[in-house]
Amino acid sequence: MPQPPRSPLPDDLPFALSLRRVNRGVGYVALFLPVILIALTIFTNTCFNQSISHYYYSRIGGDIFVGALTFIGLLLAFFYSFRTKAVDGYLRHYWYDIWLIKLAGVSAFLIAYSPTTGSGCEYTGAEAARTFITSASGLAPPASGVTGALSYDMWATFPAFGTPDNVPMLLQSLHFGGAAVMFTILGYFSYFVFTRINSFASVVEGSRKGFRNLWYRALGVLIFGCVAIMGGAAILTKLILSPEAAQAFLQAWNHWRLTFLLESVALMSFGLSWMIKGRFIKTFEDGAEH
């Protein structure tokens, strides 16, 4: 007579969990987000926005942007455990590394839910943008029309502020600060954490650790480089150049969509780094893992 199954422990699940699958999932989403937004621009008459963040205000693109950042944020903030010394592949992940990756997850939420300001595009009558409305009236039936001012500043729509000039600097900085923190931590993981000896297979015959580390370091440098260039451009326009020179600089910068380009390189570098950590192809596997 078969015995009834034992009562499951709180963490028991009827399926196998794999950190490699989690890493691949995070990596695929990060890698393909810029690609999907470009495809959306081409095939749905969506404006080619100045940055990935500005797709928040586009049709469909806003849902994809927020959904992707939420997915990444949830996994980074809640999935990784502090018991890394018992997990092969994560043996040299220290407690502060886990706090940092959780902070990166929280930063992803800030990027998604404290959107950037400005339209990021010159919209025409053939396109439609999702905007906020300040001083709105006529929203409730049986009113037939809606009046109010369109706004691309979420915080300015709160009655406590009223205008962008009244929004505290802390709230204005949440989006850009979150992006800077997230990308810096992800670059740190790629360059410093993933290159450590984290598994037994990486120190025996057939190890491809050296080959993986070349990729990890190159991708980490790309992430750090993109952050440095965007940070340097912000310092240049806000603190160094005259208002006229700063405006001319930003016009050229936005014309070539350099923020979108740099964000895409950083995101795709992060995604590929996590995919390598998840061994998305056998080229990156150690001999002992086959």
pLDDT in tens, 208-265: 999 999 999 999 999 999 999 999 999 999 999 999 999 999 999 999 999 999 999 9
pTM score, whole prediction: 0.91
Q: What percent of the chain has pLDDT over 70?
A: 90
**Predicted pLDDT of residue 4:** 47
Phi, psi of 205 (to 5 degrees): -60, 140
Phi, psi of 132 (to 5 degrees): -95, 160
**Predicted pLDDT of residue 53:** 97
**Predicted pLDDT of residue 141:** 62
14: pLDDT confidence band, cut at 50, 70 and 90?
low
Question: Among 57, 243, 33, 49, which Cα is nearest to 133's?
Answer: 57
**Predicted pLDDT of residue 151:** 86
CA geometry: angle 177, 180, 186, nearest 5 deg: 135
Give the model confidence (pLDDT) of 17-68 as tens digits: 788 999 999 999 999 999 999 999 999 888 999 999 999 999 899 999 999 9
d(CA 257, CA 51): 7
d(CA 137, CA 141): 11
Q: Are 161 and 155 in contact (CB under 8 A)?
A: yes
Does residue 161 surpass a pLDDT of 90? no
205: pLDDT confidence band, cut at 50, 70 and 90?
confident
267: pLDDT confidence band, cut at 50, 70 and 90?
very high
Instruction: State the average pLDDT over residues 90-105.
Output: 92
CA geometry: angle 106, 111, 113, nearest 5 deg: 90
**Predicted pLDDT of residue 290:** 62
